[in-house]
C-alpha cells in the first residue's frame, strides 16, 4: 500500500484551516502535514514539511496567493498547487492568473463557506489532490499578454459570417485553461473551422475565461449562448453548469444549451457535446479529447468516429493529466494522437483541406 499524499493547506481563514484538513483526512490516502495562515508562513512550512501537494488561498495578507505561487514555482516547481478560489469575479480573475503562472487546477469555494457547504466541494478537492500528486510534469506557464490591437481588429467585425468547413468539438478538463490558450492562440484569424468547447469549469468562471482567451487569440472566442451560430473563425465556450449541443437549422447551424442532469458527474459534459456533433455533422465533424481527469467524452468520441468524423486525442507526454485521452485511446476511438504543440497545425490543415475539397466538388 502506498504512503498517503502529503498535503499542506495555506489559507488565511482559521475556519478554512480547520475545515479543509477535516474534509481531506476522511480519505485515508491523504494526510495533511500542516497548515499556514499566509504565504510567508507557507513557504517556511514547505521547507520544513516537504508536502507533495499544496492547497492555496489567493486572498491573504502579507504575501498573497499570487506572490506565494510565484515563489513556489521558482523554488519548488515540481510541487503542484491547487488554488482554493473565491467564487467571485475578482476571485475568478485571480484564479486564471494563478493557472497561467503554473497552478495545477482550482476548486471554487462555496459562496457560504460554512461546514455544510464545504461538503459540496469535498469529492472534487480530494480527486484533484490525488491527480496532482500523480502528475509527472510541472504545469507549464503561459503568456496572457493581450494581442496588439492590429492583430485583434478583424475578428469578423463588419464581415458576413462564413459557414465553417469543419465543426470542431473539444473536450478538456484539468490542465485545460493553459492548453486551450496555447492551441487557440496559434490559430489564424481566418481559421475556416468553427470550434465548440466543453471545459470542465464552475458556473461564473467561463465568461471571464472566454474573454481572456479572446484577448490573446486572433480568432473570436466567447461564452456560448443558445442560438449562437457556428461560424468560421469563432470558438464558443460552454458555460459552467450547462450542457451544450449543436443543431442544424435552415438559416444556420447553432448551439443549444440545456440544464439536463449531469453526465459522468459533469455539467457540462463532453459526452453530451460529442454525441450531438456526431448525430448532426457526421463526417464534417472533428472531435478532440484533451488533458483531463476521468473518462468524460471517451465513449462519445467513438460515436463521432462511427459517424465518419475525425477523432483526435492529445498525446500522453503533453497532457497535464492523461485520464480522458487515455480512456479514449484504450477503447480504440482515437483516429490520431497529436501532441499539444502540433494540435493547432493539425486543426488548421484539416479545416483548410476540407474547404478545398468542398470548393473543388
Which of 85, 165, 173, 269 does the annotation list as catalytic?
173
DSSP secondary structure code for residue 29 in this structure: T
* C-alpha atoms less than 13 angstroms from C-alpha of 263 in its C-beta half-sphere: 21
143 labelled catalytic: no
Which of 11, 165, 185, 200 does the annotation list as catalytic?
200
31 labelled catalytic: no
**Parallel/antiparallel/unpaired status of strands 243-247 and 254-258:** antiparallel
Which of 11, 214, 271, 296 does the annotation list as catalytic?
296
* C-alpha atoms less than 13 angstroms from C-alpha of 345 in its C-beta half-sphere: 5
C-alpha 128/C-alpha 90 separation (Å) is: 23
C-alpha 62/C-alpha 41 separation (Å) is: 10
**Sheet hosting strand 105-108, strand order edge to edge:** 30-36, 5-10, 53-57, 81-85, 105-108
**CA-to-CA dists, residue 189 to 25, 160, 186, 349, angstroms:** 49, 14, 9, 14
Q: Are 244 and 272 in contact (CB under 8 A)?
A: yes
296 labelled catalytic: yes
Tell me which residues are annotated as active site. 173, 200, 296
Amino acid at each position: 500500500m502506498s504512503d498517503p499524499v502529503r498535503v499542506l493547506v495555506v489559507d488565511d481563514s482559521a475556519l478554512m484551516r480547520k475545515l479543509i484538513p477535516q474534509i481531506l483526512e476522511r480519505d485515508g490516502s491523504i494526510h495533511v502535514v500542516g497548515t499556514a495562515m499566509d504565504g510567508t508562513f507557507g513557504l517556511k512550512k514547505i521547507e520544513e514539511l516537504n508536502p507533495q501537494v499544496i492547497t492555496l488561498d489567493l486572498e491573504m495578507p502579507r504575501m498573497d496567493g499570487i506572490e506565494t505561487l510565484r515563489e513556489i514555482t521558482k523554488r519548488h516547481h515540481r510541487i503542484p498547487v491547487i488554488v482554493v478560489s473565491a467564487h467571485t469575479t475578482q476571485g475568478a480573475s485571480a484564479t486564471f492568473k494563478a493557472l497561467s503562472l503554473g497552478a495545477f487546477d482550482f476548486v471554487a469555494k462555496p459562496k457560504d463557506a460554512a461546514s455544510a457547504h464545504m461538503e459540496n466541494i469535498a469529492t472534487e478537492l480530494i480527486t484533484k489532490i490525488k491527480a496532482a500528486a500523480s502528475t509527472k510534469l510541472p504545469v507549464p506557464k503561459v503568456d496572457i499578454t493581450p494581442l496588439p490591437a492590429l492583430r485583434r481588429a478583424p475578428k469578423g467585425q463588419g464581415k458576413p459570417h462564413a459557414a465553417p468547413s469543419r465543426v470542431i468539438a473539444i473536450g478538456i478538463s484539468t490542465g485545460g485553461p493553459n492548453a486551450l490558450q496555447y492551441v487557440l492562440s496559434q490559430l489564424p484569424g481566418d481559421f475556416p473551422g468553427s470550434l465548440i468547447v466543453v471545459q470542465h469549469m464552475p458556473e461564473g468562471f467561463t465568461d471571464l475565461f472566454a474573454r481572456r482567451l479572446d484577448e490573446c487569440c486572433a480568432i473570436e472566442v466567447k461564452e456560448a449562448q443558445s442560438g449562437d451560430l457556428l461560424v468560421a473563425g469563432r470558438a464558443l465556450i460552454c458555460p459552467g453548469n450547462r450542457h451544450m449541443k449543436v443543431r442544424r437549422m435552415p438559416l444556420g447551424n447553432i448551439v443549444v444549451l440545456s440544464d439536463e442532469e449531469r453526465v459522468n458527474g459533469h455539467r457540462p459534459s463532453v459526452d453530451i457535446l460529442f454525441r450531438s456533433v456526431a448525430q448532426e455533422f457526421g463526417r464534417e465533424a472533428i472531435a478532440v479529447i484533451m488533458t483531463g481527469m476521468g473518462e468524460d467524452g471517451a465513449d462519445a468520441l467513438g460515436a463521432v468516429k462511427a459517424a465518419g468524423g475525425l477523432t483526435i486525442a492529445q498525446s500522453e507526454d503533453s497532457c497535464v493529466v492523461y485520464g480522458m485521452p487515455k480512456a479514449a485511446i484504450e477503447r480504440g476511438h482515437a483516429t490520431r494522437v497529436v501532441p499539444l504543440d502540433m494540435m493547432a497545425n493539425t486543426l488548421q490543415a484539416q479545416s483548410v483541406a476540407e474547404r478545398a475539397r468542398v470548393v473543388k466538388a
